[in-house]
A and B are shown apart, each in its own frame.
Chain A
Amino acid sequence: MRIRNILDSRAFLWTLLALPSVPMVLALVNGAAAEDGRPVTEFLLHPTGEFAARFMIISMIISPFRIMFPKNGFWIWMLRRRRYFGVAAFAYAAFHTVLYLIDMGSLQAVLGEFWAFGIWTGWLAFFIFLPMAITSNDASVRLLGRRWKPLQRTVYLAAIATLLHWMFVHNEFGPALVHFVPLALLEAYRIHKTFLSGSTQAAA
């Protein structure tokens, strides 16, 4: 089955994960300001941040869906590739952070607003992402052993920080909640299943 082989290949998944960045990079190379006059670095802040959040959320919903559909092949397939989604989330978050630094223009401006609520929450999420991304390879999994999982679980804190960052920096709650409410519901389901149903056979 040739198609199956392609779908299962690393190159295919990397391509898929990199796809949303193509229009972003093209816009950046083009360098033209958005229709409403925003410079391209400011305009791209939103899509880069949004895809960072989306890939983080995708990596986080795999476990709840595995519990919900234990025999489903797709979620098993996804579980094997979870680290890729996490690394993609970090890559978009790094892109987002670089754009922010360029857009702000000076270290003084960046530090000047560091403690604004919508900003430090973003930095917190980024600095939680960093060690997770660095250790998302086979060598680190082997090296860290039983400590690998607790490190990756700091993603829950990053998720809360990301949600707050999104809501407050954007001064608008709707779009952030559209992304995070499904995640919260799935996590609630997972907690219910894991701790309240007596079944300790949690997937992942």
Chain B
Amino acid sequence: MNYTLHTATSLLSCFFALPACATGMFECEATEKSAWLTETQVTEKLTSDGWQVRRMKEDGGCWEVYGTTPEGQRVEVYVHPVSGEVLLINQRGTILYRKEG
């Protein structure tokens, strides 16, 4: 339900502000850039938990990681840039996991 609402608001914001239409998929709390984990640190953390990391980019103040879950699902993962905690797992448009709160 939340996702439907998100979709609707994203669609609207894309219509009215195309250039500002970031993915808007997920946003992390504001953090100091200097405190961010490096790509290597994020990769190491996820890999040690059984994930495979293909690549990552910044999105919505998070690390957005493209990779594979320990179960072998191809996903996009939003990771907290400072703590490295997995906040959202999106498998090709279906939300597998979203951290509450």
Contacts and interface: CB of A to CB of B under 8 A. Distances in A.
Interface of A: 36-38, 104, 108-109, 112-113, 115-119, 167-169, 171-174, 177-178
B14 to A, nearest CB: 5
A171 B15 contact: no
B63 to A, nearest CB: 15
10 contacts: A37-B54, A108-B72, A112-B72, A113-B92, A116-B93, A119-B92, A171-B76, A174-B14, A174-B18, A177-B18
Central interface residue in B15, B54, B93, by most chain A CB within 10 Å: B93
Interface in B51-101: 54-55, 72-74, 76, 90-94
Interface of B: 10-11, 14-15, 18, 21, 23, 25, 54-55, 72-74, 76, 90-94
Contacts of A109: 72, 74
The 7 closest A-B pairs by CB, nearest first: A168-B93, A118-B93, A116-B92, A118-B92, A117-B93, A116-B94, A174-B21
Contacts of A174: 14, 18, 21
A177 B91 contact: no
B62 to A, nearest CB: 13
A171 B93 contact: yes
A113 B94 CA distance: 9
A169 B23 CA distance: 12
Contact of A177 (B14, B72, B74, B90): B14
Contacts of B72: 108-109, 112
B92 A38 contact: no
A112 B18 CA distance: 34
Nearest to A42: B54
Contact of A173 (B10, B74, B76, B94): B10
